[in-house]
Amino acid sequence: MPIRTPLVFGPRGEAGVEADLPYTWAGSCAVIVNTRGPLDTASWYEVWEGARAVAGMCVRRRLGGVSTGQGVLGNIFVIVKATRLGIGTSVVSGIASA
């Protein structure tokens, strides 16, 4: 499937979801894609645009950042952080409740 194809992102197991969230990749930097609302539509390309905006902080400075507002409804967010900082859910919970 092309990365520019719009998909429905949402909680795992919810009807109509094509991309389960949360989704996590971990190496020297962790990337966490999640949602703070109902189903939302975006392409993986759009999600990675947000990740790219904050990835430099992780790679160069071993820090992290958050990109919010991805998706048609703006519910998708991306966290990028150095894995030495851990991959806990405190940041995710804070964004999800905002």
Task: State the chain's mean pLDDT as an integer.
Answer: 81
pLDDT of residue 50 exceeding 70, the answer is yes
Q: Which residue has the tokens 């905006």?
A: 53
- Within-domain flag for 80: no
Contact 54, 36 (CB under 8 A): no
Q: What does the pLDDT read at residue 92?
A: 45
- Within-domain flag for 50: yes
- Within-domain flag for 92: yes
On the CB side of 33, CA atoms within 13 Å amount to 25
Q: What does the pLDDT read at residue 98?
A: 43
Q: Which residue has the tokens 């950042």?
A: 65
Looking at the structure of the chain, the number of domains it has is 1
Q: Give the domain extent around 90.
A: 7-31+38-75+85-96
Residues 12-32 have pLDDT tens digits of 889 999 999 998 888 778 889
- Within-domain flag for 67: yes
pLDDT of residue 71 exceeding 70, the answer is yes
Mean pLDDT of 40-48: 91
